[in-house]
Structures are given as structure tokens and as C-alpha cells.
A and B are shown apart, each in its own frame.
Chain A
């Protein structure tokens, strides 16, 4: 049975309205989807940027740790040994100074005694007086020779000073690792110290010693004898 035309027209119009409404909804959803996709892309970009930042921070931290480990290694290996040598040198300066002072005092004591002998020997004739004068001169010359310790201990103290400068430089290098976090520190100062230390090295013998002079002289004599 066929339906009347007005009823059919009404149903068709209703159907078209429903289709139109569905299309409008779909369009709205499409816009929301597009916005959501854009947001997601932006967030993914931010995440990528965060990842890059984290990686850079990791690389920086790893580099810093590596430098700290290297510095610690260098300090452990070289510096401890150098500090021990410096300590030995300073101890030798103390003993060399003490020994030289004792020798000089002994020489002066003998010289003072000889001056007394000279006065007493007035009556013993010119030969005895000349002999005593020579002995006195020898004694005073001996005192002068003992003053060689000054040159040697100066070199030993220069060595100790160079070790302290070197330690200061190494510690400054360690501090330089934290330079971005310690803006007040001037790392260039460490480089200046290092250059000065290096330059000063030629002015002294790091192995200078007052001990075993005869044995060391024998080694030199042997070498010169062989090559002569």
C-alpha cells in the first residue's frame, strides 16, 4: 500500500535533516581530531627537545666525572710521590742547616781558641806565630766552605716551592671543571702559575743534596776517567 505524498515528503525532509546533522557532527569531530593531532605533534616536539637537553646534560656530567677521575688519578699517582719527595727535601734542609751551623760554630770556637793561642805565642817567636796564623786562616776558610749549604738548601727550597705551585695548579684545574658553577674563580691564574713553575725549573737542581758528596764525586770521576 502506497503512502500519501505529503507524508513521504515529510519523512524525506526529516531524513535529510538527520543526514545534515550527522555531517555537521562529523565535521566538528574532524576539527577536534585535527586539533588533537596538532597538540600531539607539538608535545612530541617538546619531548624530543627535552630528550636532547637530558642527553647534553648527561654528556656534560659524564665529561665532568671523567675529568674529576683523571685529576684524582694524577693527584694520586704523581702528586703523592712528589709531596713525599718534597717532604724529604724539607727534612734535609733542616738537617743540612743544623749540621752546617754546628760545623761553623765548631770552626769559630777553634778560631777563637787560636786567637788566644796567638796572644800567648807572642813570646814563642815569629815562626810559631806564623804557624798559628796559617792555622787560623785555614780554620776561617773552613768556616766559609761550610756556607756552601746555603746554595744547596736554596735549590731544595726552590724544589719544594715548585711542588707546592704544581699542586696549586692541579687543584685549580680540578676547580676549573666546576667553572660554570664557580664564576668567581679565575682559571687563567692556574695557567700563569704553571708557566712560572716550568720556567723556574731551570734555575735549580731538583735532586740537589748535601749528602754523600764523596760518593757522588767518585761517580763523576769514574765517568770523566772513562771518557778522557
Chain B
């Protein structure tokens, strides 16, 4: 499974990529903002992990843009962010984000959310 990790913090990208590798996902591509991520979003990407606050294009705008693409309508999107205000979380739901992880996360929470998203997406597809 190919992951696309989007975060303007290089430290966070490394932590997330390392976490993915530890649970068996080695095929990861990365981008530092939504705009760059849109350029890297091709038919091979099967899971998106994105931050919210980024320059050029935010994670929420990136999620909305992905949902408008023909091959992006059903792709799992997990948002990993510091934004914990209730209204922001609702905005993320409305933008088509599948699940939400708050920073700082524990490896267990990240794995749990990835598993939840994958099982809900496969259940919806079945």
C-alpha cells in the first residue's frame, strides 16, 4: 500500500514515516504542503496522512481538492494535526477526512486510526 505523508515539518514527516515502516508500510512518498502533495497524488497513492496548518495549501484545502478528483473520492485521508477545537474537527469531517489524530500522538493511536480507516473503507467498498 502506497502512503502519501504531507506535513511542513520535516521532523513530523520522519516520525510518521518511521511509524508506518514499523507497522509494515514501507512504500511512502512525502510532501511539505498541500500544493506539492497534489502534484504527487497519482493513481498509485492509496492512503493519505496530512497535517492541517501548512504554507501554500493547507491540509483541509488539500483534502477538499482530493475529494474532487476522480480517483480521490474514496481514498482514505487521515489528518494528523494539533487543531483540537470542536469546530475544526467538524470542518475536517465535512471536508471528507476519514479520521483524526491529534499531535502529539502515541504510536498506538496512529496505528489504531490507520487500521480503523482501512477497515471502514473496505467495509464501505464491500
Contact surface of A with B, Cβ cutoff 8 Å: 141, 144-145, 147-152, 154-155, 202-205, 207-210, 213, 216-217, 219-221, 223-224, 227-228
Contacts and interface: CB of A to CB of B under 8 A. Distances in A.
Nearest to A156: B82
B90 A147 contact: no
Contacts of B8: 203
A203 B90 CA distance: 20
B27 interface: no
Interface size class of B (residues with CB under 8 A): 35 or more
5 contacts: A151-B9, A217-B105, A220-B89, A224-B93, A227-B90
B9 A213 contact: no
Interface in B5-29: 7-9, 11-12, 14-15, 18-19, 22
Contact of B84 (A145, A202, A220, A224): A220
A205 B83 contact: yes
A223 B89 contact: yes
Main secondary structure of the interface of B (DSSP, over half): mixed
Contacts, number: 90
Contacts of B120: 228
A223 B90 contact: yes
Contact of A147 (B15, B105, B106): B15
Interface stretch (B39-47, B62-70, B94-102): B94-102
Given A145-B104, A207-B85, 16 more contacts: A141-B22, A145-B107, A148-B103, A150-B11, A151-B9, A202-B55, A203-B8, A207-B82, A207-B84, A208-B103, A219-B86, A220-B102, A223-B100, A224-B99, A224-B100, A227-B93
A213 B83 CA distance: 11
B106 to A, nearest CB: 7
B90 A217 contact: no
A144 B15 contact: yes
Contacts of A149: 104
Contacts of B3: none
B18 A144 contact: yes
Given A203-B54, A227-B93, A151 B12 contact: yes
Contacts of A220: 84, 89, 100-102
Contacts of A223: 86, 89-90, 93, 100
B119 to A, nearest CB: 12
Given A148-B15, A216-B84, A219-B89, A210 B104 contact: yes
A204 B53 contact: yes
Contacts of A144: 14-15, 18
Give 7 nearest A-B pairs by CB, closest first.
A208-B82, A216-B84, A148-B104, A151-B9, A220-B100, A205-B82, A151-B12
A147 B16 CA distance: 11
